Amino acid sequence: MNRELPVISLFSGAGGLDCAVERCSEPALTHDDSGSPLRVAVATDHDETALRTLALNFPHTKTLCGDIQTTPTEEILEAGGLERGDATLLIGGPPCTPFSKSGFWIEEKRNSADPNASLLDEYVRVVRESKPEAFILENVQGLTYKTHKEQFDRLIAGLKEAGYNPSYKVLLAAEYGVPQLRRRVFVVGRRDGKPFQFPLSTHSGESERDRVIDRSKIPFVGLKSAFRDLPEEPVELSDIVEGTYADLAAEVPPGQNYLWHTERYDGRDVFKWRSRYWTFLLRAEPDRPSTTLQAQPGPWVGPFHWENVQNAKGESRARRFTVSEMKRIMTFPDDFSFAGGRREVQRQIGNAVPVELGKVVVRSLMEQMGHLEPDGCGSERPSNEQLSFI
């Protein structure tokens, strides 16, 4: 079997999907890339820090730093040593800012007028001009909202006109063994026109929307289980929640948020009911998956760790997740390296695709295309041992 099936990566960021590609043939929660036939030949992004992260972890990958809107497809192919039609797979997630709920207070986003949304057209352009055997596009589920119907319909139409038969579905990461309640839409298409069958979910549990649990599936992976063998490390001073709401944050129990400090709960009666965003002073629960890690959270935006720490004055304080814990939440390998300072690392992690979720989708596609033999890790259900931290 060809061990070097080339992949083009657009909007690569820190490489969550790239990591999934190069580890797609390994069992869940295993990070040995020796068995994957796929290799990222070329990766593009406008973020120099993210590309430094890629270089640390994918030294064989050629990188292009620049605006995709002014980067010709021919330049991308040349950098990867490819001709039109050579790539087995094209992957990427155009920046999700235009479609994310976290910025709906911006009028241009509510009206679907964010100019960055045009980056979807650039993705289609590179697919059309590079003609990969298949593609995977991922984004926030907000891309599928009615607010963005015109752009989403244009995306699907453009991919069809390019000669593909795209399928799409919103997947909840926790339903595939990721300790995070993160929803992403995946759009997948094949050059031969055969429809892609999305992999079956393997895990079940309570989410922010669902209370019905499928007992035939593996329980959601909780954070305590995900962190169980992490070595102890000192908490950075910058990870301790200080300032105006420090005392209030420390008093919020696991699984609660600022609503604890309203007249309806047992905390201090400080805030009005539903006067803040849900993530304000939000504390994680040890036995449940994390809520979505955000790329650029404000000082009071959680989820924060469920345990408090003491600051230099001996005061009890909430704390943010460490980088090692965030990597576990996103199912990055423990030895995955990030360039930049603490804030830049969080931005890269928060913008990434959970590696295990990406692996499941890539693996399933490679099986259906005949590049990998089915072994129970793609559209077939893996064993409890493979997909559970427990």
* Percent of the chain surpassing pLDDT 90: 80
DSSP for 59-106 reads TTSEEEES-GGGS-HHHHHHHTT--TT--SEEEE----GGG-GGGTTS
- Please tell me the distance from the alpha carbon of residue 150 to that of residue 282, in angstroms, as a whole number: 34
- The average pLDDT across 134-160 equals 93
The pLDDT value recorded for residue 117 is 55
Told to judge if 96 belongs to the known catalytic residues of this protein, a careful annotator would answer yes
Label residue 53 exposed, middle or buried (CB < 10 Å: 0-12, 13-18, 19+): buried
pLDDT of 202 above 60: yes
| Span 329-370, pLDDT tens digits | 999 999 999 999 999 999 999 999 999 999 999 999 999 999
- The average pLDDT across 222-247 equals 95
pLDDT of 12 above 90: yes
- pTM of the full structure: 0.90
Other C-beta atoms closer than 10 Å to the C-beta of 330 total: 27
Residue that is written with structure tokens 């814990």 in the block: 325
pLDDT bucket at 381, cuts 50 / 70 / 90: very low
- Please tell me the distance from the alpha carbon of residue 159 to that of residue 187, in angstroms, as a whole number: 10
Q: Which long-range contacts (CB under 8 A, 24 or more apart) does 254-257 make?
A: 254/283, 254/284, 254/285, 254/286, 254/306, 255/283, 255/284, 255/285, 255/288, 255/306, 256/282, 256/283, 257/281, 257/282, 257/283, 257/302
- The average pLDDT across 89-115 equals 59
Other C-beta atoms closer than 10 Å to the C-beta of 261 total: 20
Show Cβ contacts of residue 165 under 8 Å, excluding neighbours closer than 6 positions: 189, 190, 193, 194, 195
Q: Would you state the structure tokens that stand for residue 244, as one six-digit string?
A: 């105006």
| Span 155-180, pLDDT tens digits | 999 999 999 999 999 999 999 999 99
Phi/psi for 149 (5° steps) reads -55, -40
pLDDT bucket at 390, cuts 50 / 70 / 90: very low
- Please tell me the distance from the alpha carbon of residue 345 to that of residue 7, in angstroms, as a whole number: 25
105/335: higher pLDDT: 335
pLDDT of 230 above 50: yes
pLDDT of 375 above 70: no
Label residue 126 exposed, middle or buried (CB < 10 Å: 0-12, 13-18, 19+): buried
- Please tell me the distance from the alpha carbon of residue 319 to that of residue 340, in angstroms, as a whole number: 21
Q: Please state the separation of Cα 149 from the chain's center in Å.
A: 22
Diameter over CA atoms, the chain? 65
- Please tell me the distance from the alpha carbon of residue 9 to that of residue 30, in angstroms, as a whole number: 22
pLDDT of 389 above 60: no
Task: Evaluate the omega torsion of the peptide bond into residue 231 and state whether it is cis, within 30 degrees of 0.
Answer: no
3-class DSSP state for residue 291?
A: strand
3-class DSSP state for residue 280?
A: strand
Annotated catalytic residue within 19, 24, 65, 96: 96
Paired residues of 317 in beta bridges = 309
3-class DSSP state for residue 307?
A: coil
Q: Is the dihedral of CA 99, 363, 332, 171 positive or negative?
A: positive
3-class DSSP state for residue 157?
A: helix
Average pLDDT for the chain = 90
Nearest one of 271, 254, 231 to 319, comparing CA atoms: 254
Domains and CATH numbers, the chain: 5-217+337-387 (3.40.50.150), 234-321 (no CATH)
